[in-house]
Amino acid sequence: MTTSHTSLEQPGRGRLDATSLARVAIFAAIVAVLGLPGSFSVAGGVPITFQTLGVMLTGAILGPWLGALSMTVFMALVALGLPLLAGGRGGIGVFFGPSAGYLFGWILAAFVIGLIVHAGNRKPVTWRTFLAMIVGGILAIYAIGIPVQSAVTRLPIGDTVLTSLVFIPGDLIKAVIATIIVMTLVKAYPRAFRRTWASQNASVAERV
Ligand SMILES: O=C(O)CCCC[C@@H]1SC[C@@H]2NC(=O)N[C@@H]21
């Protein structure tokens, strides 16, 4: 195993070099920037936000581990009080509010999207990338977000599911946009994507 002054140990896996660290930071920043236009308030206390587009891109481009790490860093900064959520919100309180589950879901989403997009170490194709956005970027987020929202607001789960239907049109549009961006990048920079794939797989291989 090589050592480097510009790398950090990743728990349970290989090394996190300076480039990976920069990517993690850049995508956390992209998610923050997508919060700048603000959000749309809807019933239930969970806003419609562009930030999930950033979550989708993070998982697809960084892959499962770095993607999840990037979203974890983003959440840590939010917890520390940085106003990175749409509408300039931040602080530990958001993790006890109606959208807390969705926020944790963003970490899972980046991981699941990365897994599906990178599945089998094959070149990303449009259908699998779009499937990843649906499964990771919508279903995985809702799977945590809706039960937590229901528990926090004390609205029955069925009613909370109905409330969350308002997110579907926007999230589907974001899934399409994310797929177009990712496939455009794959076509423009195939070697960069191959390197991302290879490094993630090498890291996974190191773990077994
Ligand atoms: O800013 C927050 O407090 C978190 C917002 C969570 C928004 C959820 S994520 C899935 C769904 N899609 C949206 O546009 N909004 C919700």
Q: What is the CATH number of the domain that holds 172?
A: 1.10.1760.20
Look at the block and give the residue holding tokens 């239907």.
165
Note whether residue 135 is domain-resident.
Answer: yes
Asked if residue 204 is part of any domain, the answer here is no
pLDDT grade for 203, boundaries at 50, 70 and 90: low
Residue ranges in 97-165 assigned as alpha helix (H): 100-117, 126-134, 141-153, 157-164
Q: Is residue 124 part of a domain?
A: yes
Q: Is residue 49 part of a domain?
A: yes
Q: What is the best residue among 31, 112, 167, 168 to mutate for testing ligand 1's pocket, by most ligand atoms within 8 Å of CB? A: 167
Please state the pTM of the whole predicted model: 0.88
With cut-offs at 50, 70 and 90, classify the pLDDT of residue 13.
low
Q: What is the DSSP letter of 3?
A: -
CA of 104 to the centre of ligand 1 (A): 11
- Count of C-beta atoms within a 10 Å radius of residue 179: 24
Please check the confidence at residue 54 and state whether its pLDDT lies above 50. yes
Residue 184 forms part of a structural domain: yes
Is 6 inside a domain boundary? Answer: no
Task: Answer yes or no: is 206 within a domain.
Answer: no
Q: How many domains does the chain have?
A: 1
State the SS3 of 40-109: ECCCCCCCEECHHHHHHHHHHHHCHHHHHHHHHHHHHHHHCCCCCECCCECCHHHHHCCCHHHHHHHHHH
Residue 31 contacts residue 58 (beta carbons within 8 Å): yes
pLDDT digits 0-9 by tens, 133-174: 999 999 999 999 999 999 999 999 999 999 999 999 999 999
ipTM of predicted assembly, 2 dp: 0.98
Ligand 1 pocket test target in 46, 108, 144, 174 with most atoms within 8 Å of CB: 46
Q: How far apart are CA 136 and CA 71, in angstroms?
A: 13
Q: How far is the CA of 176 from the centre of ligand 1 (A)?
A: 17
Q: Is residue 8 in some structural domain?
A: no
Range of the structural domain that residue 137 is part of? 19-195
